[in-house]
Amino acid sequence: MHERSLVQTLLNQVQQVVDADGGGVVKEIQVQVGDLSGVEPLLFESAFAELVTEWFSQECRLVLDIVPVKAECRLCGQCFEVQDYEFLCPACGTGPVEVIQGDQVKLMSITVDSEKSVSGAKS
Amino acid sequence: MNTRVLSVRRDIQAEQKADAAAERERLGRRGTLVINLLSSPGSGKTSLLEATARHWAGRRSMAVLVGDLETDRDAQRLAPLVPVAQLTTGGACHLELPLVQRGLQALGDPAVDFLFIENVGNLVCPASHDLAEHLRVVLISTTEGDDKPGKYPKMFRTSQAMVVTKQDLLPHVPFSIEAVTEDALKIQPALKVLTTCAIDNRGIQEWCEFLEQQYQEKIESVYEPAVNR
């Protein structure tokens, strides 16, 4: 269950970004999670719900964008969406293939209300 | 209410990945190949390391960092053979780089040819953490069943080699090396597959030759010879 430590890292980064931008109340955090990232969205969401109040508030929403896995064949250059974790090139069938999308856990954006200062229970 | 949207677009693990890359570079430059061993509990990681240490005795230097939730039983088994440090996670299901670095410090940061990290027995979370390894090896024992690659795809996707252990038990268990290989190669077509038995040493020489070849490819041909080794 490494989702908990990932959420802690995420919230820490959100705090740093918001502080550097002048502070405010964090309302929404958008995160991209790739299908090959090893992150289980439900576990990530429940860890977020549990931990977010230590940093911000229960009103802070998490928006998860699940990204499918895409790969490119290094031999024939074919780009394809990976289904059922089969990394064989559908065009030439040999590979090797390189993952070009779907292994990321990325903080995309933060929505902030500027009128109140951030509660910031943790630093 | 004055609402603003801050665009970030940053990998949450970027800092950890950069730290791991820097540590990998440092260890490679001074002549150490780092191998992260991953598997289910009981698949034979410690036995494979014992057999490796016996095979290389006096010819190649190696050290081991052993990850476990509790106890130093595996470290005690290896201690008569090689320098070893225990990394106790106290409940965490995987190792992370700071713990590995602490273990290296405990060993006095030895300039060995091969540094093995025996990860916590778990086919899930360890796949998501870069421990500064040059080579990631997943073990699967013949007693576990040959359907594991498809069930734990990220582990096999992120590994460069798969070692099938406990070859001696093949006549007694429903396990097909062909089936596990076919399953794993769909996920990672470049995967090197090896078969071993640590009790009678079958495949140990091939395993050690593979590691030496990896040493040549990833260390000797990449880095300048280290000074004062």
CA B128 to each of CA A74, B15, B125: distance values in angstroms, whole numbers, following the listed order: 24, 14, 6
Measure the CA–CA gap between B201 and A52, rounded to whole angstroms.
Answer: 52
Q: Give pLDDT, residue B7.
A: 97
B171-225: pLDDT as tens digits: 999 999 999 999 999 999 889 999 999 999 999 999 999 999 999 999 999 997 6
pLDDT at A123: 42
Per residue, the 3-state secondary structure of chain B, as one string, reads CCEEEEEEEEECCHHHHHHHHHHHHHHHHCCCEEEEEECCCCCCHHHHHHHHHHHHCCCCCEEEEEEECCCCHHHHHHCCCCCEEEEECCCCCCCCHHHHHHHHHHCCCCCCCEEEEECCCCCCHHHHCCCCCCEEEEEEECCCCCCHHHHCHHHHHCCCEEEEECHHHHHHCCCCHHHHHHHHHHHCCCCEEEECECCCCECHHHHHHHHHHHHHHHHHCCCCCCCCC
Is the pLDDT reported for residue B229 higher than 60? no
Residue-wise pLDDT tens digits, A70-109: 999 988 999 999 988 888 888 988 767 889 999 899 999 9
Contact B9 A115 (CB under 8 A): no
Q: Which A residues, 40 through 79, put their C-beta within 8 Å of a C-beta on chain B?
A: none
Peptide bond into A96 cis (omega under 30): yes
pLDDT at A1: 61
Question: What ipTM does this complex have?
Answer: 0.86
The shortest CB-CB distance from A87 to any of B3, B16, B189 is to: B189
Cβ contact, residue pair B5, A105, below 8 Å: no
Q: Which of A7-11, B4-8, B224-228 has the lowest mean pLDDT?
A: B224-228
Select from A25, A89, A107, A109 the residue whose CB has the most chain B CBs within 10 Å, as the one to mutate to test that interface: A107
Give residue-wise pLDDT tens across range A36-50: 888 999 999 999 999
pLDDT single digits (tens) B49-75: 999 999 999 899 999 999 988 888 989
Name the DSSP letter for residue A92.
T
Q: Give the global pTM.
A: 0.88
Query: What is the per-residue pLDDT for B98?
Result: 93
